[in-house]
Amino acid sequence: MTQTILKRQPSSITEGSTHYCGGCGHGITLRLIGEVVDELGVRENMILTSPVGCAVVMYDYLKCDSIECAHGRAPATGTAIKRVHPDKFVLIYQGDGDLAAIGTAEIIHAANRGENLTVIFVNNAVYGMTGGQMAPTTLIGQRTTTSPFGRTIKGMGRPIRICELLSNIEETKYIERVSVHNVRNIQKAKAAIKKAFNNQINGVGFSLVEILSMCPIGWRLSPQQSQKYIEEQMLHYFPLGVYRDVEY
Amino acid sequence: MITVSTEERNILIAGFGGQGVIMAGNVLAYACIESGKNVLAMASYGAEVRGGTAKALISISNEPIDSPIIANPNTAMIMNRPSFIKYIETIKPHSPVILISSMIDYHTCPRSDLDLVPIDATNIAIRMGNILVANIILLGTLIRKTGILNSDDVRKGLVRAFYKGKKHLYYINEQAFETGYNLI
Amino acid sequence: MEATHTGKKVLMKGNEAVGEAAIKAGCQCYFAYPITPQTETPEYLSRRMEETGRIFLQAESEVAAINMVFGAAAAGARAMTSSSSPGISLKQEGISYISAAQLPCVIVNVVRGGPGLGNIDASQADYIQSTRGGGHGDYRCIVLAPNSIQECYDMTMNAFDLADKYRIIVMIQNDGIIGQMVEAFEMHEYIPLFDNLPAKDWALTGCRGRQPNVCHTLYLGTNGLEKLNRQLQEKYARIQRELAWFEEYACENAELIIVAYGAVSRITKAAIKQLNGSGRRVGLFRPRTLWPYPSQRLAELAGKMKKPKFLVIEMSAGQMLIDVQLALMDVVPKKDIYFEGMGGGWYSSVEGTLKKVQEILG
């Protein structure tokens, strides 16, 4: 296990540092994706759709063809790319504001059409890029810059559980929620990402991996406190596990 | 004073959806292509046709047709009472108006300057074995009455309009056309 | 109406002719959402794209449809969407992104009455929206304005070529009349507008054997955005130099030239024929490209007139009027540019045009 973590940077990832904050889960997720891209050898055969949000410049880090989508529209844009190039691997990377608020229609309909896409959904319960506003996945009671007194069910609704929601759509093939707040879970996350990649490569169909991710800056917590926050707060509301896995 | 040209034949076809308003218009338009005449057709669409009424306006001319808008048609073929009431005032004076006599109380027509041609097309069509050909019976009468198109071209138009899935309907419609053509 | 294939001329609605031209021009992807009065295009293409083994997708929304066009165009495919006014408003997000990313695609707007849900009749009230970009940021789309079914067909083919040549969005600005009316036209094979089109070496196809292609529109903290905007403006200036389509009718020796496009130009022409028949020297100038606007030619025509008088007729409250005034600002006093506008909900008419001309010429 330790070996995996210490091995050198995946070759599909640009050398140098990212703009992600210390303790942020995006960096870990990027690393995992890079490892999977290397292991499956898909870098030269893939097209990445990057979202609006913290991962917007992901194309600066992953050395593959990519398109920066409008906010929430990656599943629509990615659908078209996959339809034009069915032999290429299309990766959809989205955050919670992107996927679960402004792009709800696009993700539901891409899932419902059973598009053969791989969606990596990073859920850190806030809008990180704009400075920690309330997201559709913000927990009840969680304070953000637009819910300064804490999120309340009345008037703001409950956090949206995307895995539970999408797993009700019969055309989805694989839905799993993982987390990157500790080593054990990072390993599980990588396995899930790899499975979602392989599903598309093997023509299985729509796969989505939700990744619970730390946002120390948005949460106003230290990196260590943020890991603890996932363990103690988020996991209760967002249980990890496989929500749908249709064997083909 | 500038007067509006009447050289173009501007035909209104109106009735309930399902009576064959659009089909009659199609036959006319195809016949125009056969005869080398210019044609421009405009049918009601979208929300306008929800609820049952259908309308088609067809301009036929030897010259290029400029305006796609016809406010005042100079020929009409009317297949139901609501259309009769709605459009009768828009038709130009002295225009022929072919109408289904069994469905329209044409004696109450508020105008005396129109050339009304009542045809009992519904009952003739029923006797022929298909009530749906009433539209083509009326069209036959309209062609005879106006002389706008050669009847052979209309027959060719019928062939074009009743193709593919509608081929089996060609024969009875051809008969309907002949019947209507010979009614007056 | 079904197409007929005996002989050369076929009968179709404008919306269907647009669809068939897209097929002939090699449109590989079409994404749309139903809205009157353009729905015949998705209906027609749902069948024809399937028959020709291409991609038809009825999107969940107008927004999704344009973002699918974004993806397909970035992937190197010839892509199209169509809609009508309220739908085009929704698409503006994607239109801005596609323009920033300099991708080629074709968008058809069968303009209906507005504002709001308006009505389903013809209108030209989206002129400013189409010719000035429409969404956020400083960009333009080429805008073509057909006035017959033949032109719907021909211009749709041209639109794909222009889009590929300049890496720009080409909008076909139709209206409810042109989209819905049926005329006979020659359904010829694809006629390319240019001998060669630039290779799409920027397309997203997987980076095997080359550096990755990145299609992005965000430029933070560098002079990248300045560079992009300067490049865009240079491109637009080039297009303005190279493209200006128009039709002139009876403009020679005219004492009054009426400027009109789309369905209105047809109604206007009918009126002008009557005016000419009774000895009135009235001409028609019809822009066939709304952007770039054929301003130079309009000014030339004014220069030839002894006492130039112009009348702008449009189904909007003075939108194209601005372009005519700009074109003629140095050659025609503003008071000699007359205007007759209609809103969504009422049309111009031959009679109304005759009356207006009589008012102007006495």
pLDDT in tens, C134-161: 999 999 999 999 999 999 999 999 999 9
Q: Is residue A3 part of a domain?
A: no
Regions of chain A with pLDDT less than 50: 1-3
Residue C240 has pLDDT above 60, yes or no: yes
Residues B115 and B99: their CA atoms lie apart, in Å, by 11
pLDDT of residue B1: 35
pLDDT of residue B50: 66
Q: Is residue B65 part of a domain?
A: yes
Show which of residues 173-212 on chain C sit within 8 Å of chain B, judged by CB atoms. Answer: 177-178, 180-184
Q: Is residue B45 part of a domain?
A: yes
Q: Residue A150: CA atoms inside 13 Å, Cβ hemisphere, count?
A: 5
Q: Assess C338–B contact: CB distance below 8 Å, yes or no.
A: no
Q: Residue B130: CA atoms inside 13 Å, Cβ hemisphere, count?
A: 16
Q: Is residue A201 part of a domain?
A: yes
Show which of residues 40-99 on chain C sit within 8 Å of chain A, judged by CB atoms. Answer: 55, 57, 59-61, 63-65, 67-72, 74-77, 79, 93-94, 97
Residues 6+ away with beta carbon under 8 Å from B183: B119, B124, B137, B140, B141, B144
pLDDT of residue C198: 97
Q: pLDDT tens digits for C70-100?
A: 999 999 999 999 999 999 999 999 999 999 9
Q: Which of C61, C74, C217 sits opposite A81 (nearest CB)?
A: C74
Q: How far is CA A108 from CA A95, A123, A177, C28, C169, in A?
A: 15, 17, 17, 25, 28
Q: Sign (positive/negative) of CA torsion A11, C223, C132, C310?
A: negative
DSSP state of A144: B
What is the pLDDT of chain C when averaged over all its residues? 96
pLDDT of residue C7: 52
Instruction: Report phi then psi at B183, rounded to 5.
Output: -75, -25
Q: pLDDT class for C1, splitting at 50, 70, 90? A: very low
Section C227-243 average pLDDT: 98
Enumerate the residues of chain C whose CB falls inside 8 A of the CB of residue A56.
Answer: 218
Q: Which of C37, C182, C274 sits opposite B2 (nearest CB)?
A: C274
**3-state DSSP helix/strand/coil % of chain B, to nearest 5:** 45, 20, 35
CA of A222 vs chain C CAs: smallest distance (Å) = 27
Q: pLDDT tens digits for C193-228?
A: 999 999 999 999 999 999 999 999 999 887 899 999
Q: Is residue B54 part of a domain?
A: yes
Instruction: Flag if C206 and A80 touch (Cβ within 8 Å).
Output: no
Closest by Cα among C90, C82, C73, C134 to C108? C82
CA of C277 vs chain B CAs: smallest distance (Å) = 9
ipTM score above 0.85: yes
Residues 6+ away with beta carbon under 8 Å from C198: C164, C165, C167
Q: Assess C117–B contact: CB distance below 8 Å, yes or no.
A: no
Q: How many domains are contained in chain A?
A: 1
Q: Which of B3, B41, B47 sits opposite C181 (nearest CB)?
A: B41
Q: Is residue A35 part of a domain?
A: yes
Residue C191 has pLDDT above 60, yes or no: yes
CA of C26 vs chain A CAs: smallest distance (Å) = 13
Residue C258 has pLDDT above 80, yes or no: yes
* Longest CA span, chain C: 73
Q: Which chains have at least 3 CB atom pairs separated by less than 8 Å from chain A?
A: C
Q: Assess C52–B contact: CB distance below 8 Å, yes or no.
A: no
Q: Assess B42–C contact: CB distance below 8 Å, yes or no.
A: yes
Q: pLDDT tens digits for B110-137?
A: 999 999 999 999 999 999 999 999 999 9
CA of B46 vs chain C CAs: smallest distance (Å) = 6
Section B150-158 average pLDDT: 94
Other Cβ atoms within 10 Å of C235 Cβ, number: 16
Quick one: how far is CA C310 from the chain centroid? 23
User: A171 is in which domain, residue-wise?
Assistant: 18-245
Q: How many domains are contained in chain B?
A: 1
Q: Is residue B4 part of a domain?
A: no
Residues C147 and A101: their CA atoms lie apart, in Å, by 42
Q: pLDDT tens digits for C301-335?
A: 999 999 999 999 999 999 999 999 999 999 999 99
Q: Which of C59, C76, C208 sits opposite A44 (nearest CB)?
A: C208
Show which of residues 73-102 on chain B sit within 8 Å of chain C, judged by CB atoms. Answer: none
Tokens of C149: 């079914």
Which CATH number characterizes residue B53's domain?
3.40.920.10
pLDDT of residue B18: 87
pLDDT of residue A248: 59
Do B and C make contact via 3 or more CB pairs under 8 A? The reply is yes
Instruction: Flag if C7 and B71 touch (Cβ within 8 Å).
Output: no
Other Cβ atoms within 10 Å of C40 Cβ, number: 24
Q: Is residue B1 part of a domain?
A: no
pLDDT of residue C5: 47
pLDDT of residue A247: 73
pLDDT of residue B3: 36
Closest by Cα among A234, A240, A241, A243 to A125? A234
Give the DSSP per-residue string, B50-94: TTSEEEEEEEEESSPP-----SS-SEEEE-SHHHHHHHGGGSPTT
Instruction: Flag if B32 and C267 touch (Cβ within 8 Å).
Output: no
Which CATH number characterizes residue A49's domain?
3.40.50.970
Section C178-203 average pLDDT: 97
Give the domains, in start order, of chain C with CATH numbers.
9-188+216-242 (3.40.50.970), 247-361 (3.40.50.920)
pLDDT of residue B51: 63
| B162-166, C38-42, C47-51, C119-123: least confidently modelled range | B162-166
Enumerate the residues of chain C whose CB falls inside 8 A of the CB of residue A59.
Answer: 212, 214, 216
User: B86 is in which domain, residue-wise?
Assistant: 9-181
Q: Is residue A81 part of a domain?
A: yes
Tokens of A82: 């996959």
Residues C70 and C100: their CA atoms lie apart, in Å, by 11
Closest by Cα among A120, A128, A93 to A193? A120
Q: pLDDT tens digits for A22-76?
A: 999 999 999 999 999 999 999 999 999 999 999 999 999 999 999 999 999 999 9
CA of B79 vs chain C CAs: smallest distance (Å) = 21
CA of A140 vs chain C CAs: smallest distance (Å) = 31
Closest by Cα among C350, C1, C344 to C175? C344
Residues B137 and C241: their CA atoms lie apart, in Å, by 58
